[in-house]
Chains A and B, each alone.
Chain A
Amino acid sequence: MSTATTDPTIDLSRPGVPFGREVRVEIRKMIDTRGGVWLFAITALFILLAMGLTLLVLGLNEDATITASGFGEIMALPVSILLPVFAILIVTSEWSQRTHLTTFTLQPHRGRVILAKFVAVTTLAIGTIVAAAVFGALGNALYGVITPHDPVWNLPVADLAWIVAQQLLFFWMAFALAMLLLNTPAAIAVFYVASMILPFMVYPILMAMFQWARDLLPWLNMDYAVMMVRTEATFLGDPIEVGVVDYLRLAFTVTLWIVLPGLLGALRIRRTEVK
């Protein structure tokens, strides 16, 4: 076959895909499947449920009071339970559904794809916290209406910043584990066991019983490390003076659960053969 004709078929001066467009497409891909719609619907239900239950308890119990800050905390719970699954699926579903074939032919630079997904996950995390804050404010206002107490509008910026930061760390951890494992069930299992089941059901028992657990576990659990810096207290409520060690502990857990799996995962995605 002759190679004489070199048609200018390929236009190298054409603009590439703008990053903002990639991020918007990734956000769309999180919610345009049946699974995505269900996940959002259930989360919305959880939010309403949490708000309703809180108001019910407050309405029935004259002595109970709440502040905007407390409402914010409560509303952050339902959005942090299920939604990290989005941060996992945005990565792993590309592998399980094999859509990565399409994704990486539309954008062959895999680092860019990872970055776009990261920004999409971050956007979702912040967006859901804003939604939680709106519902929290709504709940707080209703609280003023249905109970004899006046609503307390005291959500300090620091508190809000911590809630957002924790939500981000949660989502990023899910995202990093998903990149490392590239497998939906495995990533979901590891994420929930490490971030919810152990710290809520296993660690408290160990920490109540053993000194080594009180020493060691905060170094293995991001949530504990955050809480110690944030509340200036240990898990058992003893006040502490927050110092270098506490920030180091926080940095260590972030490295352990986000930076390390994230970097290894990104490397894996860039190297792996897509087929």
Chain B
Amino acid sequence: MIEVQNLSKSYGDFTAVDDVSFACRPGRVTGFLGPNGAGKSTAMRMIAGLTRPSKGTATIDGVEYTAIPNPATQVGVLLDASAQHGGRTGREVLTIGARMMGLPASRVDEMLALVGLTDKEAKRRVRNYSLGMRQRLGIAHALLGDPKVLILDEPANGLDPAGIHWMRRLLREYANRGGTVMLSSHLLHEIQIIADDLIVIGNGRIVASGTKEELLRVAGTRVRARDMAALESALTAAGLTFEVAGDAVTSTASPEEVGQAAADAGVALVELRESDSAGLEEMFLQLTSSNQRDVITTEGVPA
């Protein structure tokens, strides 16, 4: 289990990570979600012992990363897939890792096969790899030593939709075998596909955390009628809270309650459905726009 307690990191008077506490449990894939610059990478570097925290602790099973003997065989880390020597072949990158960890050369072939890098691709220099291939290589490297814990920073970045589903299956099976996975992303839809638990970070602070179901349940109902004014007075009459969101109305009440209220007032509906992930999505959008970086982050924006 990864445990982070009151972790902070300041650069001068700027606080990149601000008193953050959370845990990533074994058997679960924990998504670490936040817009660009939220402090995800900084927090993960502190967990991996590469950045010294200003305050607080980050431990894995109660142990700091730097105190773990031959750590890469116990905790797999991928912090930046593009941070590889362009002049080395993919196979050589893994071979160096395997040598260092004291693993047999056959392990390199196993990992290449696992992440779907062909023999020909593995002989190419990393300079000529696409970002998606680098991510696969980085994941292979993180998995080399057969660790029980995985820490992956934006591993889905640069993967195509098929690649994201491949990663979901890989990490799902890994967690099912009892592994602990922490992965970060700045894309809600990406993390929604892959993660079980979510930790949402914005401006260095945790703004929400829990299981994916919990966080998505906040959702509520989205409803539209031809006569929107009539719909609004019907909902008010029924005592339901609601908000006008563009050409529709969203309510925290269930679709059943909203439908009944409309029917009671004789309002014909055009649309009535559970607003999937609206709660989280809205919160995330707000986080993002208050950060004044990307306006839309639920679609493929490069990091």
A interface with B by C-beta (< 8 Å): 1, 3, 5-18, 21-22, 24-25, 28-29, 32-36, 93, 97-99, 101-102, 104-109, 273-275
Within 8 Å CB of A275, what residues of B? Answer: 41, 45, 50-51
Given contacts A29-B96, A105-B77, A274-B51, contact A99 B85 (CB under 8 A): yes
Is B83 located at the chain interface by the 8 A CB criterion? yes
Within 8 Å CB of B178, what residues of A? Answer: 7
Once the chains bind, are A25 and B79 in contact (CB under 8 Å)?
no
Interface residues of B in 62-101 (CB under 8 A from A): 62-63, 65-75, 77, 79-80, 82-88, 92, 96-97, 99-101
Closest residue on chain A to residue B30 by CB atoms: A1
Is B1 located at the chain interface by the 8 A CB criterion? yes
| A130 vs B262: C-alpha distance when bound (angstroms) | 92
Once the chains bind, are A14 and B70 in contact (CB under 8 Å)?
yes
Within 8 Å CB of B22, what residues of A? Answer: 1
Once the chains bind, are A7 and B101 in contact (CB under 8 Å)?
no
Given contacts A99-B85, A101-B83, contact A10 B141 (CB under 8 A): no
User: In which size bucket is the chain B interface?
Assistant: 35 or more
Once the chains bind, are A9 and B148 in contact (CB under 8 Å)?
yes
Within 8 Å CB of A21, what residues of B? Answer: 99-100, 102
| A237 vs B25: C-alpha distance when bound (angstroms) | 74
Closest residue on chain B to residue A29 by CB atoms: B96
Within 8 Å CB of B50, what residues of A? Answer: 101, 104-105, 273-275
In the assembled complex, 17 residue pairs joining A and B whose CB atoms fall closer than 8 Å, in A order, are: A1-B23, A6-B61, A9-B149, A10-B68, A10-B74, A12-B68, A12-B69, A14-B74, A24-B99, A32-B88, A34-B87, A93-B85, A97-B83, A106-B72, A106-B101, A109-B66, A275-B50
Within 8 Å CB of B86, what residues of A? Answer: 97
| A5 vs B66: C-alpha distance when bound (angstroms) | 22
Is B37 located at the chain interface by the 8 A CB criterion? no
Within 8 Å CB of B73, what residues of A? Answer: 14
Within 8 Å CB of B180, what residues of A? Answer: 9
Once the chains bind, are B87 and A10 in contact (CB under 8 Å)?
no
| A83 vs B141: C-alpha distance when bound (angstroms) | 30
Once the chains bind, are A17 and B102 in contact (CB under 8 Å)?
yes
**Which among A11, A102, A104 is the interface contact of B74 at CB below 8 angstroms?**
A11
Closest residue on chain A to residue B89 by CB atoms: A32
Within 8 Å CB of A10, what residues of B? Answer: 60-63, 68, 74-75, 148-149
Is B125 located at the chain interface by the 8 A CB criterion? yes
Within 8 Å CB of B171, what residues of A? Answer: none
Given contacts A34-B87, A101-B79, A101-B83, contact A8 B100 (CB under 8 A): no
Is B163 located at the chain interface by the 8 A CB criterion? no
| A101 vs B138: C-alpha distance when bound (angstroms) | 12
Q: Per-residue 0/1 for B128-171: is the Cβ within 8 Å of any A Cβ (1 yes, 0 no)?
A: 00000000000001000000110000000000000000000000
Once the chains bind, are B85 and A105 in contact (CB under 8 Å)?
no
Within 8 Å CB of B62, what residues of A? Answer: 6, 10
Once the chains bind, are B87 and A17 in contact (CB under 8 Å)?
no
Is B281 located at the chain interface by the 8 A CB criterion? no
Closest residue on chain A to residue B178 by CB atoms: A7
Supply 9 further A-B pairs (C-beta < 8 A) apart from A7-B26, A275-B41: A3-B3, A8-B61, A9-B26, A9-B148, A16-B69, A25-B100, A98-B80, A102-B83, A274-B50
| A101 vs B65: C-alpha distance when bound (angstroms) | 14
| A106 vs B83: C-alpha distance when bound (angstroms) | 14
Is B255 located at the chain interface by the 8 A CB criterion? no
| A105 vs B178: C-alpha distance when bound (angstroms) | 23
Within 8 Å CB of B45, what residues of A? Answer: 273-275
- Residue with the highest number of chain B CB atoms closer than 10 Å, among A7, A10, A17, A22: A10
| A32 vs B90: C-alpha distance when bound (angstroms) | 12
Once the chains bind, are A15 and B70 in contact (CB under 8 Å)?
yes
Within 8 Å CB of B49, what residues of A? Answer: 104-105, 108
Is B219 located at the chain interface by the 8 A CB criterion? no
| A33 vs B95: C-alpha distance when bound (angstroms) | 13
| A68 vs B99: C-alpha distance when bound (angstroms) | 40
| A8 vs B62: C-alpha distance when bound (angstroms) | 10
